[in-house]
Amino acid sequence: MAFPFLISAKSYDLFVDSSYEGEEDGSKEKPFNTIGEAVEAAMKNSSSSRNIYLRNGEYKEKATLENSIKIYGENRKDVVITNTLTMKDGTEIKNITISGGHQGVLIEKNADVAIEDCDIRNFSGMGIQASPGGGLVTIKNNDIYNGKGGKGMYIQEGRRVEILGNNVHNNGQEGMDVRARVSGTIEKNSINSNGESGIEFIIGSSKLEIKNNDIRNNGASAIASQFYRGTSKTGKITIIGNILSKNKKFGLDCAIPSGGSPSAEYWGNSMELSQNTIEKNKIRPISNFCNMMQAIEEEKEKEDNIISETVEEENDSKENMPKEVTSSEEMPTEEAVVLPEFPDEEKKKLDGSVNVVLSRNGVKTFFIGPDYKNIQIAKEELEKMKNARVELFRLLKEVKTVENKNAVKERIAEMSDIINSSETHIYKQENKFSLFGWFYEIILDKK
């Protein structure tokens, strides 16, 4: 109730009304017809006198806000810009809707900007894209949704961020995609029902506090961390007080999209988890590739987070890889380890069964459901591969030298990539929507 008063009480330098027909000078009585005209006029003013007020209406233009321009809408839902809005340094937008464009909002390199109390929707690429640079991006209390095939936010390298209180939902890809060397806070956001992970970030040299977010029902993981060889330094990521629930893969995932070999301690040294509730995620709470529990006692981990699902044997803190020893002189000598033969036959069977599951016709899946019979076969083959990996974890505890430990860990990592990839494909296919798949599954169970 107080907000209209604040809007009317604010001193504006220029006014815009898309429906106005008459003589224009940017005044309240004779507003400009387009944002572009107002921006051009505002740039003749001092940097402190560039406040623009948009009256309700539709603005069909691809506008660029030059330095220090601030735009305020009359009513958030009724001031609609129907194309990409580009923001330069010192700009601000508040109380408007941006609908359409490849990017809803494009933030230029190194620009400090603020986006607050806006709706950003129906974009095809990114809701908000922040180009690389050191500028501060403040994103508060916005709804970012219905990005047809895109990401809610795409924050590129080097940025500082304050991302607070946003609702990011129903976008085709990630809710938030944060690149390397980004610092700041992601707090009190609701991130749900996006096509891929809720938050995806590259660890390399990033310093982030991911705090008190509600991340649910996303198509991949709640939070997905990544290692890249080009940005391989550890980060400082605090993940605290979040709800990570009902996501299609993990509560927390760790991945190496471009390959490489981070140390066994990389994830644990880069991320700290506490006071999170991790529950009902489809595969498991934390990806076994993360090795998050290696640096702390299991009981402390349980005290610090509420993890409702059990973790398989090879993910238990006592089974995880020990820290590498930096000098071979600190360990006794030992003959080179003879690794068991790689289970090629099991891998071929697993790959074959997964490929059969993936080859299911989309129309057939829609009407009668996934290929439940072959999904069960694929799960059985997957279990064999997991059992082979358990044997490697046991071997890892027995070997003593750095060389032998590293050889075993390389094999474990190789098998983990196969297991994680296969597991993701199986669960994704198993949970595809179908009209009558439930009935077919009941018949299959009876058989």
> Would the pLDDT of 323 be above 70?
no
- Cβ–Cβ < 8 Å for 328, 401: yes
pLDDT for 322 equals 36
d(CA 446, CA 413) in angstroms, rounded, equals 39
- Cβ–Cβ < 8 Å for 97, 79: yes
d(CA 43, CA 107) in angstroms, rounded, equals 19
Reported as a single tens digit per residue, the pLDDT across 15-52 is 999 999 999 999 999 999 999 999 999 999 999 999 99
Phi, psi of 288, rounded to the nearest 5 degrees: -65, -15
Q: Are strands 284-286 and 151-155 parallel, antiparallel or unpaired?
A: unpaired
Percent of the chain with pLDDT over 70: 82
d(CA 116, CA 145) in angstroms, rounded, equals 15
pLDDT for 432 equals 63
Cβ atoms within 10 Å of 433's Cβ, excluding its own: 9
Question: Of residues 386 and 90, which shows the higher confidence score?
Answer: 90
d(CA 126, CA 278) in angstroms, rounded, equals 28
pLDDT for 327 equals 33
> Would the pLDDT of 217 be above 60?
yes
Out of 28-32, 151-155, 326-330, least confident range: 326-330
Cβ atoms within 10 Å of 201's Cβ, excluding its own: 24
d(CA 368, CA 437) in angstroms, rounded, equals 4
pTM over 0.95: no
Q: Which of 24, 29, 21, 23 is nearest to 12 (CA)?
A: 29
CATH number of 344-446: 1.20.58
Question: Of residues 54 and 263, which shows the higher confidence score?
Answer: 54
Sequence-distant (≥ 6) Cβ neighbours of residue 329 within 8 angstroms: none
Domain locations along the chain: 12-324, 344-446
pLDDT for 281 equals 92
Reported as a single tens digit per residue, the pLDDT across 52-82 is 999 999 999 999 999 999 999 999 999 999 9
Question: Of residues 114 and 330, which shows the higher confidence score?
Answer: 114
CATH number of 12-324: 2.160.20.10
